[in-house]
Amino acid sequence: MTAKYTDYIGIEIKQGLEKCIEEPQFESNYWTKPAVPIIKKVGKVNYGESNYAVGPMTKTIFVEDAFGSRYKVTVEDLKHIKGHGWVTNDVWSKIDHHWDKTEDDYVVDTPEYKAWLAKAREKFNSRLPTGFYGKKEEVA
């Protein structure tokens, strides 16, 4: 498993947003820089949505503008599935997929793969002993 830097990225974003409270940091050739800061309040980095055991590592920051509207800024580690690109953990968990060693990536399950997997599981399970302590159970 590779390192996840959502904590660090969340803190960097929070500190960057806090600078915007004092003076607008906006730089663009198309949009004009606001005369007064639009960001009024930046909340703390919230760790409550993170699942440290299995993922995803999610950090949330709540931001309030000068007009009273609230915004949610989320940092989450994404997962890659071939054909779908980088997806969130919610999308990732809804797609039938498996790790393909030759592709070195997650790929979507195909009907052929599912049929092969069912045969492989049946073959493996047929070699396992059944019943209590490996004794064959007799059906009465």
C-alpha span between 34 and 98 (Å, rounded): 48
Examine residue 136 and state whether it is found in any structural domain, yes or no: no
Q: How far is CA 89 from CA 22, 45, 58, 64, 75, in A?
A: 35, 20, 10, 27, 12
Examine residue 14 and state whether it is found in any structural domain, yes or no: yes
Q: What is the pTM of this model?
A: 0.67
Same domain, 84 and 71: no
pLDDT score of 48: 82
Examine residue 114 and state whether it is found in any structural domain, yes or no: yes
Same domain, 70 and 87: no
Examine residue 31 and state whether it is found in any structural domain, yes or no: yes
Same domain, 53 and 99: no
pLDDT score of 140: 56
Same domain, 90 and 54: no
Examine residue 1 and state whether it is found in any structural domain, yes or no: no
pLDDT score of 98: 84
Position 3 confidence tier, pLDDT thresholds 50, 70, 90: low
Pick the last residue of a domain from 52, 76, 100: 76
Could you report the per-residue pLDDT of 70-127, keeping only the tens digit for each? 999 999 888 888 888 898 888 888 888 888 888 888 888 888 888 988 898 888 877 7
C-alpha span between 93 and 126 (Å, rounded): 30
Q: Is the pLDDT of residue 29 over 70?
A: yes
Examine residue 30 and state whether it is found in any structural domain, yes or no: yes
Largest CA distance in the chain: 86
Host domain of residue 85 = 79-130
Same domain, 24 and 71: yes
Q: Is the pLDDT of residue 33 over 70?
A: yes
Q: Is the pLDDT of residue 139 over 60?
A: no
C-alpha span between 41 and 65 (Å, rounded): 7
Q: Is the pLDDT of residue 65 over 60?
A: yes
